[in-house]
Amino acid sequence: MKNKLDNYIIKGGKKLFGEVYVQTSKNASLPIISASLLTTDKVRIKDCPDILDVKNMILMLQKLGVKINNDDKDIIIDSSNLNNVNLDCKLTKTMRSSIFLLGSLLHRFGTIMINTPGGCKIGARPIDIHVDAFKKLGVKVVCMGDCLFFDASKARAGKIHLKLPSVGATENIVQFACLLKGETQIFNAAKEPEVVDLCNFLSLMGAKIFGAGTNKITIYGVDRLHGVEYSPIGDRIVAGTLMVAVALTGGKLALKNVNAHQNEKLIDILRRMGCQINIKHGIIKISNSNRLSSIDVSTGYYPDFPTDLQSMLLVMMCLADGESRLRENVFENRFLIKDELIKMGAKIQQIDNRNVLVEGQPELTGCTVRAKDLRGGASLVLAGLVAQGETRVADIHYIDRGYDHLENVLSSLGADIKRK
């Protein structure tokens, strides 16, 4: 049973061997669940990941009157009784993905009020790209204290140029535009595989979407969408996390339910750092028996190296032979695990909020560290797998947001990791 106060206790030094069927993607599942509300028919989402973010979204939708049933790992969504537009403030505050519900809920109700994370500080925790894009489609947006009020009564199709290729904003507008009469064009759209997966899902429901996966997406509004069964793509970030685990500990791993093409940049980096990787019949095989080589990497929008794998790469750099540089181009201040890794013996120098310099060490030493975010938390687990002695990772509820029982997956490969 998972508890908010659970820790991971890891005894480092075990090599990992085996095969993993990678869970379905968190970042694909969440917008797909949201888009299920665009029809009153039933939608079955197959093999949905058992993670906290999905559970929280389900909880939020149930409070809005949506019926959601589990059938093994599938979830069946029936939003025919959707009856309440008061999104739960506590949940919308803890989960940024609730912003993705805007596109679908606005269609069902015409108006909606949402709590903005930390009030209307659009600059500090920005949702300005979402808001500007909705405004371009004729939606009226009014800031009321800690809330934003959206009125779509005069909404119409249109042309949108995104200031940055925001994944969430692209997904929101694609959902909204599917049922808007006329042609909507999104320029500088996000190209991430999860955006493509959402578009594939919507197309199966009857939407007319062109250009998904490129920087220009065109949507022709249709009158209605219908129910479907759909299995979201495998999670490229979870797959990447496991590949890095083997790169660090040594051993051999085969990954199924993952598209190597979507992890091209990571695979290239792992090879350059000394790992052996083979891709055949849709299975990625990785092995490593050497000390990793140092490397310089910058994160970026897809197809560049993903920001969500940046902290895993940082752990590899901490143990690589020589000096590495890491630049974070997508988010500011995404080096939250730096101080925790330093406690374990890493030598990391932060140049500014986008750049770090890492002097690789021969080993890290286990101690108590604290997860402060989802991907950073998973990276501390990876550091624990390779560290000397015992590592306790606290606040693992962050990790549960996106990893489906990470301890079971790692234990099945031979790691010594327990939830306590």
- Give the binding site for ligand UD1 (CB under 6 A): 27, 30, 96-97, 126-130, 164, 166-169, 190, 194, 307-308, 330-331
Q: Which residue is nearest to ligand UD1 (CB)?
A: 168
Nearest to 227, CA basis, from 47, 71, 29, 43: 43
DSSP state of 36: G
Residue (330 or 410) nearer to ligand UD1, CB: 330
Tell how many helices (H) and how many strands (E) occur in the chain. Answer: 14, 23
Rounded CA separation 167/70 (Å): 28
Residue (168 or 377) nearer to ligand UD1, CB: 168
- For residue 321, report the phi and psi dihedrals to the nearest 5 degrees: -85, 100
120 an active-site residue? Answer: yes
What is the helix (H) or strand (E) element at residue 285, kind and residue range?
Answer: strand 283-288
Residue (169 or 356) nearer to ligand UD1, CB: 169
Given the residues 89, 120, 147, 367, the one annotated as active site: 120
Residue (27 or 241) nearer to ligand UD1, CB: 27
Which residues does 366 contact at the CB level (< 8 Å), separation at least 6?
10, 11, 12, 344, 384, 387, 388, 389, 390, 391, 392
Place of tokens 């990678």: 22
Whole-angstrom CA distances from 317 to 90, 95, 200, 271, 387 are 37, 30, 37, 14, 14
Place of tokens 């990992």: 16
SS3 267: helix
Return the active site residues.
Answer: 120
